[in-house]
């Protein structure tokens, strides 16, 4: 049980990040090259886009927390680090009352920034799953339950 709404919101973003990492780790051979449609970004490009989008908006609204983000080749590590930085930025802004704004961004409340990140990433997860389906891969139900849905639900089927 969470002690506050802000803790629950930050936990929801961390769960979202865990789903992204689980999906990344569950990709079949050739999965990073899959595309939802001819000309669409590949699954690998979509994961990289999620990371780049996180960093772009974080640099806009909390540049002090985006500084020094390592530029490693390991996508899972980068996603984990950027998720922590986003949560730190939102938590800091909630605690201090500072605005979430920068040169190209303004959010009326830190929660709206977090929701923007969640909505954006949910869209790309759908595109990634569609691309995998197009290449003939459908995640087995038990794996999908473990990798995605069990992070949100607690019921047992």
Residue 156 lies in a domain: no
Q: Tell which residue, 124, 103, 100, 95, has the closest CA to residue 112.
A: 100
How confident is the model over 96-109, as pLDDT tens digits?
Answer: 998 899 989 999 99
Residue 77 lies in a domain: yes
- The b/e string for 127-146 (b: 16+ C-beta within 10 A; e otherwise) is bbbebbeeeebebeeeebee
Q: Does 49 appear as a known binding residue?
A: yes
Residue 91 lies in a domain: yes
Residue 157 lies in a domain: no
Cβ-in-10-Å burial (0-12, 13-18, 19+) of 3 comes to: exposed
Residue 25 lies in a domain: yes
Q: Where does the pLDDT of residue 119 fall: very low under 50, low under 70, confident under 90, or very high at 90 and above?
A: very high
DSSP 8-state assignment for residue 4 = S
Residue 38 lies in a domain: yes
Q: Does 106 appear as a known binding residue?
A: no
Domain extent, residue 108, equals 5-151
Query: Structure pTM?
Result: 0.85
Q: Does 2 appear as a known binding residue?
A: no
Residue 107 lies in a domain: yes
Residue 90 lies in a domain: yes
Q: Is the pLDDT of residue 50 over 90?
A: yes
The residue to which tokens 């949910």 are assigned: 122
- Percent of the chain having pLDDT more than 90? 73
Residue 70's pLDDT is what?
58
Domain count, the chain: 1
Which CATH number fits the domain that encloses residue 48? Answer: 1.20.120.450
């Amino acid at each position: 049980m969470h002690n506050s709404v802000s803790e629950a919101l930050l936990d929801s973003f961390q769960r979202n990040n865990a789903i992204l990492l689980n999906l990344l780790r569950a990709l079949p051979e050739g999965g990073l090259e899959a595309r939802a449609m001819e000309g669409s970004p590949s699954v690998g490009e979509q994961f990289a886009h999620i990371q780049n989008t996180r960093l772009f908006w974080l640099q806009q609204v909390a540049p002090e927390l985006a500084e020094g983000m390592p530029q490693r080749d390991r996508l899972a590590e980068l996603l984990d680090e950027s998720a922590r930085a986003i949560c730190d930025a939102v938590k800091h802004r909630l605690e201090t009352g500072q605005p979430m704004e920068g040169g190209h961004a303004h959010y009326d409340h830190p929660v709206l920034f977090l929701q923007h990140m969640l909505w954006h990433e949910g869209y790309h997860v759908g595109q990634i799953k569609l691309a995998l389906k197009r290449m003939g891969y459908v995640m087995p139900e038990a794996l999908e339950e473990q990798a995605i849905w069990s992070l949100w639900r607690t019921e047992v089927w």
